[in-house]
Amino acid sequence: MSRRYFVQLAYRGTAYRGWQRQSGKVRTVQATIEAALTRVRGNARQPEAEQAPVRVVGCGRTDAGVHASDYYLHFDTEEALRDDWLFIMNKVLPDDIVLYRVWEVDSGAHVRYDATARTYDYHLHTAADPFLAPFSSFIDLPDFDTWAVEMSLRSLTGQHDFRAFCLTPDRHNTTTCDLREATLHTEGEGRYRFRFVADRFLRGMIRILVYQLLRVGKGELPPDELEIALETGQRISVGQAPPQGLFLSKVDGLKGRFDGKQ
């Protein structure tokens, strides 16, 4: 009888071409985890190259270089996991991927479809810092108008068609998203964090939004231009904020299924 397990994890995306498995020898988070799962589950009597691969389903996709501090996947297996499975997996995986906990769920549970909201945080700093650089974007903002940015953010919240802020809008069945929170936070001198919470996000949506919001803050774009883009569906200009500042930081709707099993 097949069993389904949820796994909560985190990863540093710097060395990966995003979450999703790709053809060829492309290093992705999903492919790395699947290789580790296959190895741990493997039959010692059978050559590793002949092992049937274990496939996982993720709660969403992240782009190349993007991090996740709260992520979930599920996978199916015919056997119950051993008590030290989590420890073994973390020994096999590279240091930039860590599994926090694993628990068995019913066969209909799904990490993507059961998620009710996702939170992304985008970190940036305005003074060069070697300790922030891997996880925050260094951006020149000599006269950053936070008031103008906050005005633009207010116009983005709510249920809207975000076609103008999507890299590939025609690949989505719908480009409408319920953006429940869009805020700017000051984290210290010259350090800022954007937070976006929504039921779903489109490809490239947050990095495009941040890019345009920074243009507003630098006085290159009037605050109402983003609202106009929402109404017309027309892209303002081509551009994305760098990936290293972006984190998938929270996924709602999945922790409630945790039943205490480790």
Q: Could you give the residue numbers annotated as active site?
A: 63
In the 8-state DSSP scheme, what is residue 139?
-
Tokens of 189: 């001198």
List the one residue out of 47, 113, 41, 121 whose CA is nearest residue 76.
Answer: 41
d(CA 229, CA 163): 9
Cβ(247)–Cβ(121) under 8 Å?
Answer: yes
Letter for the amino acid at 238? V
Handedness of CA 24, 25, 27, 29 (dihedral sign): positive
Among residues 251, 261, 259, the alpha carbon closest in space to that of 111 is found at 251
Cα separation, 86 vs 99, in Å, equals: 7
Closest to 40 measured CA to CA, from 72, 87, 3: 87
